[in-house]
Amino acid sequence: MKQNIAKAFVSFRIGPTLWRREERFAELLRLFRAHAGVTDEIALFSHETHAPLPLAAIAERAGLLRERMRMARADGLRAGINLLTTIGHHEENRAQSLSADFTPMTDSHGRVCRGSFCPNDPRMGDYVEQVYRLLAQADPDFIWVDDDVRLFGHSPAIETCFCARCLDLFEKETGVRYTGDALREAFNGGETAAKLKVRRAWLQHNRDTIVRLLQRVECAAHAVKPGLPLGLMTGERYYEGYAFASWAEALSGPGQAPVMWRPGGNGFGTDDSPITMFGKSHPIGRQVAALPDQVVSIQSEIENFPYQMLKKSPCATTLEAATHIAAGCTGAAFNVLSMYDEPLDEYAPMVGAIRAARPFLDLLARTFGRSPARGVYTGWTRDSFAAANCTKDNWFDPEFWRMMGDFAGELLELGIPCGYAPKDAPVTLWTGDAPLAMPLEDVVRTLSAGVYMDAAALAHVNAMGHADLTGFEIARTVEADAMEEFTSDTLNGRMAGRQRDGRQSFWKQPAAMLKPRCGTARSLARALDYAGTELGACCAGVFENRLGGRVCVAGYYPWAFLQNLSKSVQIKNLLRWLSRDSLPAYVESFHKAGLWVREPEPGRLALYLVNASMEPAENLTIMVRTAAGSLRMVDAACAEETLRAAGRDGAYARFVLPPVAPWQARLLTY
Dihedral sign, Cα of residue 437, residue 439, residue 440, residue 444: negative
Q: How many CB atoms lie within 10 A of CB 152?
A: 18
Q: What is the pLDDT of residues 291-340, one digit of tens each?
A: 999 999 999 999 999 999 999 999 999 999 999 999 999 999 999 999 99
Alpha-carbon span 49 to 89, nearest angstrom = 9
For the chain, domains (ranges, CATH) are 9-99+119-153+211-367 (3.20.20.60), 375-578 (3.40.50.880), 593-669 (2.60.40.1180)
**Nearest residue to 145 (alpha-carbon basis) of 229, 205, 212:** 229
Strand partners of residue 16: none
Alpha-carbon span 311 to 350, nearest angstrom = 12
Task: Give the model's pLDDT for residue 397.
Answer: 85
Alpha-carbon span 161 to 507, nearest angstrom = 36
- Regions of the chain where pLDDT drops below 70: 1-3, 401-405
Dihedral sign, Cα of residue 553, residue 554, residue 559, residue 565: negative
Alpha-carbon span 27 to 610, nearest angstrom = 36
Residues 6+ apart with CB under 8 A from 295: 248, 259, 260, 261
Angle between helices 348-368 and 314-327 (to 10 degrees): 20
Strand partners of residue 518: none
Strand partners of residue 113: 105
Q: What is the pLDDT of residues 374-404, one digit of tens each?
A: 999 999 999 999 999 988 888 998 877 666 6
First and final C-alpha spacing in the chain: 18
Angle between helices 22-34 and 348-368 (to 10 degrees): 60
SS (H, E, C) 118-182: CCCCHHHHHHHHHHHHHHHHCCCCCEEECCCCCCEEECCEEECCCCHHHHHHHHHHHCCCCCHHH
Q: Residue type at 266?
A: N
Task: Give the model's pLDDT for residue 398.
Answer: 80
Q: Is 233 within 8 Å of 144 (Cβ atoms)?
A: yes
Alpha-carbon span 277 to 284, nearest angstrom = 11
Q: Is 44 within 8 Å of 14 (Cβ atoms)?
A: yes
Q: Residue type at 24?
A: R
Alpha-carbon span 449 to 430, nearest angstrom = 13
Concatenating the DSSP letter of every residue in 426-481 gives SEEEE-TTGGGGS-HHHHHHHHTSEEEEEHHHHHHHIIIIIHHHH-EEEEEEE-SS
Dihedral sign, Cα of residue 418, residue 330, residue 251, residue 156: positive
Q: What is the pTM of this model?
A: 0.97
